[in-house]
C-alpha cells in the first residue's frame, strides 16, 4: 500500500502532539468503503481490495512513511474550560499529498489508548462510527464544509458503554484537524512561542497568501470568523443541529468536525435539542449562531497573545452581520428568490413562525415548495398546516414576491431543487442501518451512503427515505456516547 506522505505537523515540536502507535482491533473486517472519499487521496474503488487495507485501517499495520501521533488541545465544554483534552482515541497516521498537491490528514478514530485518553478506553463503537460516517458524507452531499470519511472497520472486540458493544474504527480525512482548542491549550498553559508557531503553521499550510503580510495574524483570525459564521449559516439553513458545539469541536478551517449526537431537525423548532446529554439546552438549534460567537471569543482570548484587543473586538463585531447575510442569502435561494428586495427577511421570518406553530417538517415543506407551480391555487403540501388560513395568507405574499421578481418558473424550480434536499439523514435511518450492521448486514450503510451523496436528486425506489420519520423514530434519544 503506497502513499505519498508529507508529515508537516509531526515535524513540529513534540509539544503539539505525542507519538503513539494505534492498537489494532481484534478480528477486523470491512463494514463500508467510501470510493468517493478515496479519490481525495488518489485511490479508486479497488483500493479496499489491497491486501494491506484491513490491517492499515484497523490499526494493525502502520503504512510506510506514516508517523502516528495524537494531537493535544483543550477547550470549553458546555461553557466550562477543560485544561487538557487531546486525541483520546484517535491517531493521525500522516498527511497524504494528492496529485493536485492537496494535503489530507488520514486519521484513525477509535484506534486505542493515547496519553490523552484520561479515563476513556480509546475505542469507538460500531454505532458511533456509522453515525459519523454517514453524516459527514451527508453534509458533503449538501455542500456544507466537513471532514470526510473513508471507511469503517468493524471487529469482534467488546467495548463497554451503556451496554456491551463491538469496537470499530472510522478513518477520517481532513485538510487539518487543528481546532480552536488547539490554540486555547497553548494560551492557557502560557506557551506563547508554541501558540505563535501554531498560528504560523496554519498560515503556511492553509492561508499562504497571508504569509508575508505584516498583519497576518489578524488576517487569519478574520478568516476564521468569516468561515465560522458562514458554516453555521449553512447549518441553520438546512436544519442541522451539531449537538456538542464545544470549542474543541470547532475547526480552524471552518469545517464541520466531530459528529456525535447530531440531528437533522424534522418538525421545525428553534428549541430543538438533539443531544439528550444537553439538559439545559445550551446547544439547541436556535442557539447555534450565538454559540459560534462564544467559541470565537474563546479563540480570541488565545489570539490576544498575537493581536491587540481592539483589532480582535473589531473582527468579532463582523460575525453577526456575516452570519445574517449568508443565512438570508441561503434562505432566499431556498425560496427561489435571486434578487433581494426589502421585506424578504419578513417573508422568511413569518414562514418559520408558521412552520413552528404548525409543527411542519422543515425538509418536506421546502422540497414541496420547490416543485410548486405558481399558478396552482392549492398545492399538495398544504395538508402539512393545521392553520390553513395562516398558510394561505403567507403563500399569497410569497407568490406576489415571485411575480415581482418576474422569474422563469422552470429556472426557479431548478434553483430551489438545488437548495432543498429530497433526503436528509433522519435519526431513524441511521438507527436502522446500525441495527442491521450489528447483525452483520452492512447493506443499509452502503445504501444510505449512496443516497445521501446526492441528496438533491430523487432516486427511483427511494420514496420511503423522503417521508417523515415513523413515530418510533421521532422518539429516538441520542447522547454524547453516540
pLDDT, tens digit (0-9, with 9 covering 90-100), for 364-422? 999 999 999 988 888 888 899 999 999 999 999 999 999 998 878 899 999 999 999 99
The three cell numbers locating residue 34 = 467510501
pLDDT at 482 over 70: no
How does the average pLDDT of the chain come out, rounded?
95
| pLDDT (average), residues 222-245 | 98
Give the C-alpha separation, 329 to 335, whole Å: 10
The reply to whether 361 falls in a domain is yes
Considering the candidates 87, 222, 248, 278, report the single residue annotated as catalytic. 248
Query: Long-range contacts made by residues 340-347, C-beta under 8 angstroms, separation at least 24?
Result: 341/401, 341/404, 341/405, 343/401, 344/401, 347/394, 347/397, 347/398, 347/401
What is the domain extent for residue 109? 9-176
- Would you mind telling me the total number of residues written for the chain in this entry? 482
Task: Give residue 475's pLDDT.
Answer: 83
Whether 207 is in a domain gets the answer no
Distance CA 282, CA 273 (A): 9
> Which pLDDT does position 2 carry in this prediction?
75
In the chain, the number of structural domains is: 2
Whether 262 maps to a domain, the answer reads no
**Distances from the Cα of 120 to the Cαs of 89, 113, 148, 416, 421, in angstroms?**
8, 8, 24, 45, 38
- How many Cα atoms occupy the beta-carbon half-sphere of 126 within 13 Å? 29
Q: How far is residue 131's CA from residue 425's CA, in Å, rounded to a whole number? A: 9
Tell how many helices (H) and how many strands (E) occur in the chain. 16, 12
Answer yes or no: is pLDDT of 303 > 80.
yes
> Alpha carbon 457 to chain centroid distance?
21
Q: Is residue 314 assigned to a domain?
A: no
Average pLDDT over residues 135-162: 96
Last residue of a domain, one of 176, 209, 239: 176
260-287: burial string, b at 16+ Cβ within 10 Å, e else: bbbbbbbbbbeebbbbebbeeebbbbeb
With respect to residue 264, please indicate whether it lies within any of the assigned structural domains. Answer: no
Residue 273 reports pLDDT greater than 60: yes
Contact (CB, 8 A) for 107 and 92: yes
Domain boundary among 373, 402, 417: 417
Cβ-based burial of 307 (10 A; exposed 0-12, middle 13-18, buried ≥19): buried
The Cα 166–Cα 174 span in angstroms is: 26
| Whether the Cβ atoms of residue 437 and residue 130 lie closer than 8 Å to each other | yes
The predicted-structure confidence for 419-469, as pLDDT tens digits, reads as follows 999 999 999 999 999 999 999 999 999 999 999 999 999 999 999 999 999
Report pLDDT digits (tens) over 244-266.
Answer: 999 999 999 999 999 989 999 99
pLDDT for position 408: 84
480 vs 223, more confident: 223
Residue 376 falls inside a structural domain: yes
248 catalytic residue (yes or no): yes
- Give me the pLDDT at residue 378, please: 82
Band (pLDDT 50/70/90 cuts) for residue 481 is low
A 10 A CB-CB count for 364 gives 19
Asked if residue 94 is part of any domain, the answer here is yes
Tell me, yes or no, whether 451 lies in a domain: no
C-alpha cell read off for 189: 498553559
Structure-model confidence comparison of residues 408 and 66, the more confident one? 66
Instruction: Give the domain-ending residue among 176, 211, 240.
Output: 176
pLDDT at 63: 94
Amino acid at each position: 500500500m503506497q502513499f505519498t506522505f508529507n508529515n508537516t505537523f509531526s515535524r513540529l515540536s513534540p509539544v503539539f502532539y505525542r507519538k503513539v502507535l494505534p492498537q489494532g482491533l481484534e478480528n477486523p473486517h470491512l463494514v463500508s468503503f467510501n470510493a468517493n472519499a478515496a479519490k481525495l487521496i488518489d485511490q479508486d474503488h479497488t483500493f479496499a481490495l489491497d491486501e494491506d487495507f484491513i490491517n492499515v485501517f484497523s490499526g494493525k499495520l502502520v503504512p510506510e512513511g506514516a508517523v502516528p501521533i495524537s494531537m493535544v488541545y483543550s477547550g470549553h465544554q458546555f461553557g466550562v474550560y477543560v485544561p487538557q483534552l487531546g486525541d483520546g482515541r484517535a491517531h493521525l497516521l500522516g498527511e497524504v499529498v494528492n496529485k493536485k498537491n492537496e494535503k489530507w490528514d488520514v486519521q484513525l478514530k477509535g484506534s486505542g489508548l493515547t496519553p490523552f485518553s484520561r479515563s476513556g478506553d480509546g475505542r469507538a463503537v460500531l454505532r458511533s462510527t456509522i453515525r459519523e460516517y454517514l453524516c459527514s458524507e451527508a453534509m458533503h452531499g449538501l455542500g456544507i464544509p466537513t471532514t470526510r470519511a473513508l471507511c469503517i472497520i468493524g471487529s469482534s472486540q467488546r467495548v463497554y458503554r451503556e451496554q456491551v458493544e463491538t469496537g470499530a474504527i472510522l478513518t477520517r480525512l481532513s485538510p487539518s484537524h487543528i481546532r480552536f482548542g488547539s490554540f486555547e491549550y497553548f494560551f492557557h498553559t502560557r506557551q506563547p512561542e508554541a501558540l505563535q508557531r501554531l498560528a504560523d503553521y496554519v498560515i503556511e499550510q492553509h492561508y499562504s497568501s497571508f504569509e508575508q503580510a505584516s498583519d497576518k495574524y489578524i488576517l487569519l483570525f478574520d478568516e476564521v470568523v468569516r468561515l465560522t459564521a458562514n458554516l453555521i449559516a449553512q447549518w441553520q439553513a438546512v436544519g442541522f443541529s451539531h449537538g456538542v458545539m464545544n470549542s474543541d469541536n470547532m475547526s480552524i478551517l471552518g469545517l464541520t468536525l466531530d459528529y456525535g449526537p447530531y440531528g437533522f431537525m424534522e418538525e421545525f423548532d428553534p428549541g430543538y435539542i438533539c443531544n439528550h446529554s444537553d439538559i439545559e439546552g445550551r446547544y439547541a438549534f436556535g442557539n447555534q449562531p450565538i454559540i459560534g460567537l462564544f467559541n470565537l471569543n474563546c479563540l480570541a482570548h488565545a489570539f490576544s497573545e498575537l493581536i491587540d484587543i481592539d483589532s480582535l473586538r473589531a473582527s468579532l463585531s463582523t460575525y453577526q452581520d456575516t452570519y445574517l447575510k449568508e443565512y438570508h442569502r441561503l434562505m432566499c435561494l431556498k425560496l427561489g428568490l435571486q434578487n433581494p428586495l426589502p421585506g424578504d427577511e419578513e417573508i422568511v421570518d413569518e414562514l418559520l413562525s408558521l412552520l413552528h406553530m404548525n409543527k411542519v417538517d422543515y425538509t418536506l415543506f421546502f422540497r414541496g415548495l420547490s416543485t410548486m407551480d405558481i399558478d396552482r391555487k392549492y398545492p399538495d403540501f398544504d395538508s402539512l398546516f393545521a392553520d390553513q388560513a395562516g398558510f394561505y395568507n403567507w403563500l399569497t405574499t410569497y407568490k406576489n414576491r415571485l411575480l415581482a421578481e418576474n422569474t422563469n418558473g422552470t429556472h426557479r424550480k431548478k434553483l430551489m431543487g438545488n437548495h432543498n434536499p429530497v433526503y436528509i439523514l433522519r435519526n431513524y435511518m441511521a438507527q436502522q442501518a446500525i441495527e442491521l450492521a450489528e447483525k452483520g448486514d452492512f447493506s443499509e450503510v452502503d445504501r444510505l451512503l449512496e443516497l445521501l451523496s446526492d441528496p438533491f436528486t430523487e432516486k427511483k425506489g427511494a420514496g420511503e427515505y423522503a417521508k417523515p420519520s415513523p413515530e418510533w423514530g421521532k422518539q429516538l434519544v441520542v447522547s454524547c456516547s453516540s
